[in-house]
Amino acid sequence: MADSVEKLDMASTDNANHSVGEGLLPEAFLPDPPSEDWELNILLDDIAQGITVEDLKRLKSYCIGGPGKRTLSEMKDAIDLFTHLRQTRRLTKDNLIVLQSMLFHLHRRDLQKKVVEYARRLGNVLHFYTPSDQPENGYQHLTIHVEGTVNFDRIKLEKLRYGVARLLCIPLDLLL
């Protein structure tokens, strides 16, 4: 027992003469995030901080007809709503379209912009953006572009366009 204490003391004095990590590979110091969805969790927390009580009420109203009334009433904040969307696979780290469409209808372009920045920073994330804040050629609606790396055939792409147009309540021809 005395030998192990002595070895421990010697090890700590030996380390005092060296810099932290000396002799270790750089990979040993790369911190791992606490979850696979770390960046998404941070984004959702950031968005949730910007959601007002009135915004949450409206977001929950968009879900009426989906989850049961009890489920909606149990959602006390935006994180609860986002958790539900994730559990039902309507929101994933690879597909932010439903989240964006909800923010779009709230007219919270500031929060929607954060989603676009996140998606572009990460790359392979399905999302949409508006190239301009003004409708083109006197149209009532903005032109919407969908981005993200997906391997869809033409039929699936058309279904995606249709789904996004439906979520945004815009004519299909304004979705590129």
In-domain check, residue 15: no
In-domain check, residue 71: yes
Q: pLDDT at residue 67 above 70?
A: no
- What confidence score (pLDDT) does residue 24 get? 66
In-domain check, residue 9: no
- What confidence score (pLDDT) does residue 52 get? 97
In-domain check, residue 12: no
Burial code (b: 16+ CB inside 10 Å, e: under 16) for 74-94 equals: ebeebbbbbebbbeeebbbbe
Residue 87 structural domain: 36-174
Q: What is the CATH number of the domain that holds 125?
A: 1.10.533.10
The residue with greater pLDDT, 104 or 30, is: 104
CA dist 103 and 51 (Å) reads 10
In-domain check, residue 62: yes
* Structural domain count of the chain: 1
* Predicted confidence (pLDDT) per residue in 81-130, tens digit: 999 999 999 999 999 999 999 999 999 999 999 999 999 999 888 888 87
53: CB partners within 8 A, 6+ apart: none
Q: What is the mean pLDDT of residues 32-50?
A: 93
In-domain check, residue 97: yes
* Predicted confidence (pLDDT) per residue in 119-174, tens digit: 999 988 888 887 766 555 555 555 677 767 666 677 888 888 888 889 988 888 87
CA dist 1 and 55 (Å) reads 63
Tell me 132's DSSP state: -
